[in-house]
Structure 1
């Protein structure tokens, strides 16, 4: 097929996925669509109790004894919108915008992570020839907790020799290892009291880039929740007496918080508040002059608050936000230039008196994650929060002797006339769970080139779609000849 025909075919699949709301934890509709769609293509399909989809494409005639290859992607997406954009993730389709060679969404995340991977696999299943047995696995809930991969029956992995994950973000990079992570959620019921009859103010941090807490964590981007807590410390240090009515921000554990807002009640004059805020903004701008050129703090009068958080509880809430480490924690001693360990203050949610804080460390060294868990226990005890430690997601250790990687890199160089980069990434991939279920299987991860995933600026380079299809198709044929 011509590249233009391949792109048109893949985009048809992607548009269908984009029309189906599919935030993590709400994949039943897209799972049902895939079930029906794959059956119509003539494949043998299973929808498991978690709504994972497993579809088998029988081998071409004469290739029945070739090793089974799994193509894998996830059907859920991170759903975020730019400030001021009306968007209901459970109801609204993604509005696609083609701008020359770039595909993006109209004011929201695009869902190319991993909708484009799913679309590429669907195209390949429909058009592949001269192949061995191929299995497609589409998982749920990758972005939130990888529960689809965690609960996938290992029988679907035990009879395969190779797995190609289609969830990477650069066409010319082959991933052969990824980091693990652990969800740390801090919760507390705050004590509320009647607010004084003083003015209420809304303090907001905005203009930040945000981004993926694995892929972009090493770029030195600011975290809005941390800046907000530091700004409020600036008020206290300047002698401004205030009460905290609410605080919230961030959108996902694995997205760097790009916005955060607090409501405070104070008798301090507006001029004093703006003077302190200007000083804080100037400090932040100097600190993040390169990475956050659009950073800004804003202060507007808010409707009167009925209740505020009692002083001790508010102090502990702000204290724990300032104590969290956000960003790179340690660089790799094995792979120069690679982040080994990081952590992200992802979300603060407050509903009435209930507050939840979601904190997400990552590391390619499992022991560092245990260190963060112990640190979290100490922070919770010191600040009066209850701590829930989620399931520790395993890392996928780099395999230096990977025949699947050799096949793909050789084909890439033949097709593109340049070598393919081989790397281990700091982000988490489902391959860690698959590796735990079948450590004898060989794994790689590939993908088209995307930018700013998990943000409203997410985009996809359309000219990289057809080359990925050609690379995977050639690899599947080559593996069937072995």
Structure 2
């Protein structure tokens, strides 16, 4: 596609970010880059001890008394790769691919969540011409635990009246509320015993769509970790006895697991194993015929193993994986068609005898998160796991009538010639933490249109970039007139 001047400017910023590895928890390089980049632009910049960046742009002359507006995004990204793609998220840049009006990455997640939001803010800071005082806040670790937002000093929020978060996924949707969530991590040291002198096989689940556990949780997509645990139960029901040597899968707590694999040791023949797996695959295909057309179960010869998990510990591991609720838990009673509460079995990581399981419930009703915490304690006690309960991330209560939302919606309708959808989303946003620090401030979240975030299929609709820049620029001008 032929790029406009605005799009090319934003893409220059995005390409620079894509060249910097920035998985959650490893943002020093990108934070240092933003610090230097914003200083070069002539802004007053602070890098706090967490790596958050706070940059102030002075008002245009005559607008000094206008209310301060914060433009906010996060600098980290979820780093995942397609099966078979060699990718080190701590070392490798994101390789960008333009296909017509679509931007993708070569075999990995794109990082448009929230790299494109950061790039748009950087462009606006450099090129906006009519505005009051503007503050840009770029946070760290949004995807993993929102620790950047949690630890951001309140003083950076107290002197502002409006905050525009640039981390939403659809140009025509204006977000005025979001869900909260809580990290639940189950851990256990497995008892290992000598492996029986039998054949080792890898049983794997693949071909699933995966996706963001907030945005796509209501689409009925399958979770690979749950399917793997059910597959192994199916082998046992088919009369196949085995010892479990290892089990792992998933990429991130907030990504629906798209692949998982286990190594088992058994005396069953390859023919009998394949027959049982074909039966399980047929069952899953009937269940997920619409949402998972590429679902597959595979069997491959594994290297010999010296140790396996003791039978009781293996049984409890498979038991807890089957007991976890994955997907929608309850729909909203207030907003028809919206998910109120959900949960995602995100990651199982095993190293030696140590195993960790990341489970992530979300809800716009905080009490439901407390219910999940109680449920998790019971599951841990029943299966011999220890449990770490993270800080409950607050929801951001719906506020459709706020004046900032009206300004953004009016700017959208003038630019696009149609009304903007105003809604609350099930995904979590940092606005919940900012609202807790300054409940008097008015918030919205906007974004360009992206697809399949947190997955190797992530893509960005390039024609939605310039309209968002125009809308934000118009809103800054309008707010400066108040």
TM-score by length of 1: 0.99
Which residue does the alignment assign to 1:412?
412
The answer to whether the 8 A contact 1:201-1:301 is kept is yes
Counterparts of residues 440-459 of structure 1 (less than 5 Å): 440-459=440-459
Mapped to 2, the partners of 1:107 and 1:149 lie a distance apart of 30
User: Which sections of structure 1, spanning at least 5 residues, go unmatched?
Assistant: none
The alignment of Structure 1 onto Structure 2 pairs a total of residues equal to 481
Mapped to 2, the partners of 1:214 and 1:62 lie a distance apart of 43
Larger deviation: 363-372 or 397-406?
Answer: 397-406
Which residue does the alignment assign to 1:160?
160
Mapped to 1, the partners of 2:381 and 2:247 lie a distance apart of 21
1:24 aligned counterpart, secondary structure:
coil
1:254 aligned counterpart, secondary structure:
coil
CA apart distance, 1:239: 1.4
Is residue 85 from structure 1 mapped to residue 85 from structure 2 by the alignment?
A: yes
1:255 aligned counterpart, secondary structure:
coil
CA apart distance, 1:425: 0.1
Which residue does the alignment assign to 1:122?
122
The answer to whether the 8 A contact 1:340-1:426 is kept is yes
User: Which sections of structure 2, spanning at least 5 residues, go unmatched?
Assistant: none
Measured against aligned partners, the alpha-carbon deviations of 1:308-357 in whole angstroms (never above 9, x if no partner) come to 00000000000000000000000000000000000000000000000000
Measured against aligned partners, the alpha-carbon deviations of 1:58-115 in whole angstroms (never above 9, x if no partner) come to 0110000000000000000000000111100000000000111100000000000000
Measured against aligned partners, the alpha-carbon deviations of 1:384-414 in whole angstroms (never above 9, x if no partner) come to 0000000000000001320000011011111
The answer to whether the 8 A contact 1:3-1:466 is kept is no
Counterparts of residues 259-278 of structure 1 (less than 5 Å): 259-278=259-278
Which residue does the alignment assign to 1:35?
35
Which residue does the alignment assign to 2:141?
141
Which residue does the alignment assign to 1:177?
177
Is residue 301 from structure 1 mapped to residue 301 from structure 2 by the alignment?
A: yes
CA-based RMSD of the aligned residues comes to 0.7
Is residue 285 from structure 1 mapped to residue 285 from structure 2 by the alignment?
A: yes
Measured against aligned partners, the alpha-carbon deviations of 1:131-177 in whole angstroms (never above 9, x if no partner) come to 10000000000000000000000000000000000000000000000
Which residue does the alignment assign to 2:324?
324
The answer to whether the 8 A contact 2:330-2:340 is kept is yes
CA apart distance, 1:130: 1.6
Which residue does the alignment assign to 1:209?
209
Which residue does the alignment assign to 2:436?
436
CA apart distance, 1:3: 7.2
The answer to whether the 8 A contact 2:400-2:422 is kept is no
Mapped to 1, the partners of 2:34 and 2:324 lie a distance apart of 41
The answer to whether the 8 A contact 1:130-1:477 is kept is yes
Mapped to 1, the partners of 2:151 and 2:446 lie a distance apart of 23
The answer to whether the 8 A contact 1:63-1:480 is kept is yes
Mapped to 2, the partners of 1:270 and 1:14 lie a distance apart of 49
Which residue does the alignment assign to 1:69?
69
1:67 aligned counterpart, secondary structure:
coil
Q: Extract structure 1 runs of 4+ deviating beyond 4 A.
A: none
